[in-house]
Amino acid sequence: MDPVTIPQKAFTAQPERPNWERARELARAPNVSDLDRLLAGGYATMLRPAAPPGATCTFWDRAKGGLVDRISDGKIPSQFKNGKWVGFKDWRNAPVAQADIVEWKHWTGPVNWCVVTGEIGVFDLDIKIGPTETGPAADRAGLFIAEIKTAIARAVGMTVERLPLRWRDNSTSCAVFVRLTKPFDKDNRPFVDPEGGKHAVEFLAAGQQVVVAGTHTSGAKLNCSLLDTPFSALPLLEPEDLDRAFDEISAAATRLGYAVPASKQKVAGATGAPYTSGDAVLRAVMARRSEWLPSVVPVVPGDHDEWRVSSADLDRDLEEDLSIYPDGIFDHGTERKHSPASLIREFGNIDEAGDITFGGSPIYGPDFAVVGEIGTDLRRPTEREALTWLCRQLAGDQFPEFGEGATWKSALPTVARAVGLRWTALVVARWFEYGVDDGPAGWGPEKLVEQADTLSAMEAINPAAFAQLDFWHEVDLRQIVGDRRAAVAAEAPEPAAPDPADDDLPEPLDIFAQNDPADLSTLPPNCLPEMLHRWVRSESRRKGTPESFAAIAAVAVASAAIGASARIQIRKFDTGFTQPAGLWACIIAAPGSAKSPIIKAAEKPLRNLDAEWHRVWKLEHDMWETANQAYKSRRKDALPPGTEPIQRRCVVDDVTLEKQVQLHAHNPRGLMRSPDELMSLFGSLGAYKRNGDGDRSQALRLFDGSAISVDRVNGGSIRADSALMTVLASSQPLKIAEMARNLGADGMLQRFTFILDDDVDRHGIDEPPDEEAAAAYARAIQMLASNQPTDGTPIRMASEAQIAFDAAAEQIARLKNAPGLSAAWQGHVAKFGMILPRIVLVFHGLEAAFRSSGSLPPTVSLGTVEKAVLFSRFVLRHSMAFYSRYFEPNTEAADARGVAGYLLTKPDRTTLSRRMIYDARTELRDRRRLFAAMAELETANWIAVSKRDQDGPSEWRVNARIHQRFESQAVREKAERASRRKAIAAAGEARKWLNSDKLSGGVSHDE
């Protein structure tokens, strides 16, 4: 493309006249487009077109790795090609050629025009007040806008009236344009009015864009001075002018009553943001100092930053006080800093139960070293005991003890968990630099929730940056962070161990784990009651499906049969922590995979029972209706008909949420929904709407089986005190992929157990059914559905069964951090804490029903728990495959696997530098991707940081154990890499052949 030239028609008339006059003349001419006016003003190199608001535009979505259609907001640079709007690739750096301008002029229809900032700077005044609003708030906002314009005008040396602006008639927001002498950093100043409203003045600098002509999303026309003001006539802004302008704006805001967020004053020992991971954990612990410090030293908590404890209160003969800050502890008396653990050790007294209280001060010797104790009846805690007590104060008594040799430094990753932080996320947040388009500022609500650990780490590492991010987002980020920290702290992390020796890294974890397809179809031995397993084998052969389909269908139907008629106690002593039996299950397979036939076979006994209940109810209701009509007609011999018979149900089909709640009110033990397609269930419950958060919340309550109320369309409300829904559904891969995109990690899909097809081509076998197994299965289901509810006493597990259950639950919880899986997977693992006990309860019921027991025994046996755990492990393998397949891949984990594969092919390499990685994997020259990948490998014990520089980790030590444990993987890696090299070489030869007729020595047979 040729370098840009300004169209000659804008300048040939009177070339001797100044640019200002020529631009004004063109601007005033009739029928001159916005594009021509901007070109005449000298903005050609900065111009970028944008699709108008409401137009469909196709963009490349980095997260999804493909093209997506979005509705334009009129602000994102885009191109009109082949009759449709598409994204403008690399719009920040793309040169504008004469051919581009010619093409733009031939476009028909509305276009928004942007300029790229860099040579131009923009003050964006986002003062949120409606132009028609009146009252004190509106008056104050109007004065503030006037003060802002005055401050900018003074900074650039011109009157307010001459400031080049962009504005629209339906808003008080506007923008002021300036010319820059050199690149500026962007700046953003938030302000909060007395009513709590958020406002801001942002300075847009290099690498951003601003719309200068076209239409706003509200439909209002954008007015802009740039259309008749040439670039050379824009006011010039120097760096010191920008600082002066913002100082005056902040002063004006304060005068008018706006709150101006100020930087927090540093205290003793504080470091500036971004903080190191260790400092971030320390600050998080100190932010909650009121929860543990008063037990250790005689301090009076308050809202002030510095808490002081006098030496008199500490009962010591030192002159200076102990100061406790929000970001550290400094003892002015002994002239040293404390970690929380060292403070607890110095002043705490631990009893036999592990409780720590203030034990007075020790005896200090030279250089204020601790040399003894005044009394003999106290015991100072060890560092391990101090850490254990501290974390239990912060996270609860379930927090595990630390191992011998644990120190504050080695324990930091575990202490981070106690305050709700993930160490790996902190490391990544410390070194990441998000690109302009892919950072948290552009994340939608679902991704913000999915990336809650990242947000939590950002808030800990750089609170000021997080505060600005929170200011701009409509979503309450602090609520997301708070919820996430509470969830992380409630987990049970592994206790910290001493720092490993340089030659003794821990056992590396398998980050290549892939499920064999056979693992997804073949049931483990002894994972089902024997009679049920016979039915599963028979029906699977006859229908031509994997055994997994029949197994999950039968277990789900059994869970519906039990419903809320029985509950299982999850913990040994907590009688209030129970779960009912209802499961949500879904089979995922392509059309023609016999999903529906196997589901119909499984639910047949329950539907037959439901039909029999309906037949009996109809007879009773017909009799009641006859009596009621007679009574209403005032026949002399007519008696009152009594209460209208209630229809007993166990299965319902397509009903609305309102109708379903009405049915639950009459059927408190629960109902089963069995739609042919899962999407239709979500549609009927209102849970699939993108903005249907309220409906989705109601639908989620149906999993818990708690009380639910809905408002009637025609007024009034319906309430069910117990509303438990069991789901047995199916879906197709493309449809479940759409649901995964729309529902994300909000908890709806995470409550399901998904069973995937193994893609083996099967055909149903024409053979007789296992009549004995089929009859036993039908009797068991109908017996479970007919059993009367218990007296409310939950079913408990025998002691040995409880131990086995707790061990399995602990192992499942650890799967939450399986490398390479998404936040949605983590949500599913968290929900499995409710699913596992339900499976145990279902197996307990089935074992009793197959024995023809009249009611469920009060205690679950060890054998039943072991079967349920085996089946749950099988289900979780399907879950892991589901979340790997249908949720966005974890880029960090994929990169980590690439580096891991490279390491396995280099058995002699003991260290790995950034340069080595850059040479081996060019995509990791993006430093933030590199650090994220290496953090994954650190977590998996493949490497450990050995050197750092000002940019972060620069060298890593390689765990030699990877070559022994993953020897077979190394063979595969080498074979795959050799195959790829061979394919690349062959492609190169083919390309030479393709171009051989262009070579100088090429000959043609036509000669």
pLDDT tens for 972-986 read 677 766 766 777 777
pLDDT tens for 371-404 read 788 777 789 999 999 999 999 999 988 888 888 7
Q: How many CB atoms lie within 10 A of CB 615?
A: 10
Nearest to 778 by CA among 443, 448, 531, 521: 531
Q: What's the rounded Cα separation, in Å, for the pair 324 and 299?
A: 9
Q: What is the pLDDT of residue 1006?
A: 42
* pLDDT higher than 60, residue 257: yes
Spacing of C-alpha 523 from chain mean position? 33
Q: What's the rounded Cα separation, in Å, for the pair 148 and 125?
A: 8
Q: What is the mean pLDDT of residues 604-617?
A: 93
Residue length of the chain: 1007
State which amino acid sits at residue 316: R
Provide the 3-class DSSP secondary structure of residue 954: strand
Which runs of E-coded beta strand occur in 683-766?
708-711, 717-720, 725-731, 752-756
Contact 421, 456 (CB under 8 A): yes
Could you give phi then psi for residue 865, rounded to 5 degrees? -60, -40
Angle at 198 between CA 192 and CA 202, to 5 degrees: 95
pLDDT tens for 930-970 read 888 888 888 778 888 888 877 778 899 998 888 877 776 77
- Please, which residues have CB within 8 angstroms of residue 10's CB and are 6 or more apart in sequence? 22, 26, 36, 39, 40
Could you give phi then psi for residue 180, rounded to 5 degrees? -110, 145
Q: What's the rounded Cα separation, in Å, for the pair 261 and 192?
A: 8
Q: What's the rounded Cα separation, in Å, for the pair 220 and 584?
A: 49
Q: What's the rounded Cα separation, in Å, for the pair 874 and 585?
A: 14
* pLDDT higher than 70, residue 586: yes
Residue-averaged pLDDT of the chain: 82
Banded pLDDT at 306 (limits 50, 70, 90): confident
CA quadruple 198, 203, 207, 211: dihedral sign: positive
* pLDDT higher than 70, residue 319: no
Q: What is the pLDDT of residue 696?
A: 66
Banded pLDDT at 562 (limits 50, 70, 90): very high
Contact 33, 63 (CB under 8 A): no
Q: What is the pLDDT of residue 564?
A: 92
Q: Please give the full DSSP string across 482-509, using - where no structure is assigned.
A: HHHHHHHHHS-PPPP-PPPPTT-PPPPP
Q: What is the CA radius of gyration of the chain?
A: 35
Q: What is the mean pLDDT of residues 720-743?
A: 89
Q: Please give the full DSSP string across 120-176, using - where no structure is assigned.
A: EEEEEEE----TT--SHHHHHHHHHHHHHHHHHHHHHTS-GGG--EEE-TT-S-EEE
- Residue scoring higher pLDDT (849 or 932): 849
Contact 356, 348 (CB under 8 A): yes
Contact 752, 730 (CB under 8 A): no
* pLDDT higher than 50, residue 503: no
C-alpha torsion 874→880→886→888, nearest 10: 180
Q: At what angle do helices 423-431 and 277-287 cross, to 10 degrees?
A: 120
Banded pLDDT at 825 (limits 50, 70, 90): confident
Q: What is the pLDDT of residue 405?
A: 76
Residue 312 buriedness (CB in 10 A; 0-12 / 13-18 / 19+): exposed
Least trusted range by pLDDT, from 44-48, 643-647, 854-858: 854-858
Contact 857, 794 (CB under 8 A): no
* pLDDT higher than 70, residue 686: no
Q: What is the pLDDT of residue 86?
A: 92
Banded pLDDT at 30 (limits 50, 70, 90): low
Q: What's the rounded Cα separation, in Å, for the pair 73 and 51?
A: 8
Q: What's the rounded Cα separation, in Å, for the pair 635 and 79?
A: 81
pLDDT tens for 905-935 read 888 888 999 889 888 888 888 888 888 888 8
* pLDDT higher than 90, residue 128: no
Predicted TM-score (pTM) above 0.95: no
pLDDT tens for 50-80 read 999 999 998 875 445 568 888 888 988 999 9
Nearest to 295 by CA among 351, 377, 352, 334: 351
Q: What is the mean pLDDT of residues 632-644?
A: 78
State which amino acid sits at residue 454: T
Q: What is the pLDDT of residue 337?
A: 87
Least trusted range by pLDDT, from 237-246, 353-362, 412-421, 820-829: 820-829
Q: What is the pLDDT of residue 969?
A: 72
- Please, which residues have CB within 8 angstroms of residue 857's CB and are 6 or more apart in sequence? 795, 844, 848
Q: What's the rounded Cα separation, in Å, for the pair 527 and 583?
A: 17
- Residue scoring higher pLDDT (114 or 320): 114
The pair of structure tokens assigned to 953 is 């980790």
Q: What's the rounded Cα separation, in Å, for the pair 944 and 410?
A: 14
Which runs of E-coded beta strand occur in 381-536?
none
* pLDDT higher than 80, residue 116: yes
Q: What is the mean pLDDT of residues 850-875?
A: 89
Contact 639, 564 (CB under 8 A): no
DSSP 8-state class, residue 853: -
Q: What is the pLDDT of residue 972?
A: 67
Could you give phi then psi for residue 960, rounded to 5 degrees? -65, -20
* pLDDT higher than 90, residue 580: yes
* pLDDT higher than 70, residue 344: yes
Q: What is the pLDDT of residue 676?
A: 85
Least trusted range by pLDDT, from 29-33, 112-116, 227-231: 29-33
Q: Which domains does the chain have, with CATH numbers?
A: 8-116 (no CATH), 120-255 (no CATH), 271-288+401-501 (no CATH), 290-381 (no CATH), 527-602+763-785+799-886 (no CATH), 891-993 (1.10.10)
Banded pLDDT at 514 (limits 50, 70, 90): low
The pair of structure tokens assigned to 794 is 């939950």
* pLDDT higher than 80, residue 201: yes
Q: What is the mean pLDDT of residues 504-527?
A: 69
Banded pLDDT at 596 (limits 50, 70, 90): very high
Q: What is the pLDDT of residue 267?
A: 38
Least trusted range by pLDDT, from 50-59, 370-379, 571-580, 652-661: 370-379
DSSP 8-state class, residue 795: B
pLDDT tens for 208-246 read 789 999 999 888 999 999 998 999 899 999 888 888 899
Contact 593, 755 (CB under 8 A): no
Q: What is the mean pLDDT of residues 281-308?
A: 87
* pLDDT higher than 70, residue 992: yes
Banded pLDDT at 5 (limits 50, 70, 90): very low
State which amino acid sits at residue 645: P
Banded pLDDT at 610 (limits 50, 70, 90): very high
Banded pLDDT at 273 (limits 50, 70, 90): low
- Residue scoring higher pLDDT (558 or 28): 558
Pairing of strands 796-797, 859-860: parallel
Residue with tokens 């503030």: 144
Q: 360's torsion region: left (phi>0), alpha (psi -120 to 50) or beta?
A: left
Q: What is the pLDDT of residue 43?
A: 92
Banded pLDDT at 266 (limits 50, 70, 90): very low
Q: What is the pLDDT of residue 262?
A: 45
